[in-house]
Every structure is written in structure tokens, then in C-alpha cells.
Amino acid sequence: MKQAFVFLATGFEEIEALGTVDILRRGGIRVSTVSIMGELKVMGAHNIPVVADFVFEEADFSVVDALILPGGIPGSNHLNTCTRLKELILKKYQEDVILAAICAGPMVLGGLGLLKGRRATCFPNFEPTMIGATPTYTGVEQDGKIITCKGPGFVFEFGLSILKSLRDEEIADEVAAALQVNM
């Protein structure tokens, strides 16, 4: 079974994180939420507390197929300043793992230089944080193993794009149909 990790930090965008988790789990992906805040309970941007599956220090990232960064402010800023997370992203990028980021989340990938020469999208006005990317302004953009998304209104397309990359188009279509999402 494929394994994905969704990283949570204080101020994360709840619908982006939890919507993605839900879609991937419906598609048969083992998804774990990981707090980078040193404790399991993480408060979302809209004051919804979420209990993560792991704190960063206790998660086993030896087997991973996708790393997912939700947006939200200040959540994305916390992700962007987490040295351990950025080191993990760089390591897994070399291992050809899918890297997915939504809303303000692509700033992390941009700051690491992983978007240089790639098509990418993000929340409006965050384009300068996608250093070296060619902004497409689309809802979801996939360039190789990197998937970016404009924001919460595109969470279904985002989750289904990740699912399609991890499994296949048929599984993604089945989940979309069950969710009543037209793709």
C-alpha cells in the first residue's frame, strides 16, 4: 500500500489538509498526518483543533510515496521555517517521491529551488515565493513528480491528482464518482 504524509503546523488550512487526507484514504492510500509543532494537537487556521497521527520526531519516513504540504497562514510559514521538514523534502526529492503543495504551501518547494524551470500554481499573490517557477494560474498543476494547487476551492482536484499519481486514473475516477466530483 502506498504511503503519504501530510504535514500540519499551527494555522494550517483545514480543508486543504483534511480534504486531501480523506480523498487519498478513500483511494486506498495509507495517509498519516504529522505535526511539526512538537505536540500531536495542532490548531488550524479557523480554530479547528486536529490531533495528528505523529509528531515529526516520531514518524518513520523510510517508506514514503508522497509528501504533502497544506497551505494556510501562518501554517505555511511554519512549514517553510522547519529545517527538519525541508531536509526531508530535499532527501525524498532525490528519491523521486511525489511532492505536493497547495495554496501558500508551494513557497516551501520554491524556497528549496525545487520549482526552478517547472510549471506551478499557488494562491494568488504568492507567485514570487515560487522561486524560478513558471506560474500557470490554473487550479492544479503537475510537472513531473511535483503537484501544486491554487487553493482550497481546488482540494478535490488536488487530492484526486495525487491519487492518480500514486495509484492510477481508474481509482481516481472511482473516488471522484463516489464523491460526486466531475473531473
pLDDT digits (tens, 9 = 90+) for 8-60: 999 999 999 999 999 999 999 999 999 999 999 999 999 999 999 999 999 99
- Partners of residue 67 on adjacent β-strands: 5, 99
CB 31 within 8 A of CB 168: no
Q: Are 91 and 27 in contact (CB under 8 A)?
A: no
Torsion of CA 111, 116, 118, 119, to 10 degrees: 60
**C-alpha cell read off for 108:** 516551501
- Residue 131: predicted pLDDT: 97
Q: H/E/C letters for each residue in 118-172?
A: CEECCCCCCHHHCCCCEECCCCEEEECCEEEECCHHHHHHHHHHHHHHHCCHHHH
Give the model confidence (pLDDT) of 106-131 as tens digits.
Answer: 999 999 999 999 999 999 999 999 99
| Per-residue pLDDT at 76 exceeds 90 | yes
- Output the pTM of the full model: 0.97
| Grid coordinates of 180 | 460526486
- Compute how many other C-beta atoms are within 10 angstroms of the C-beta atom of residue 73: 15
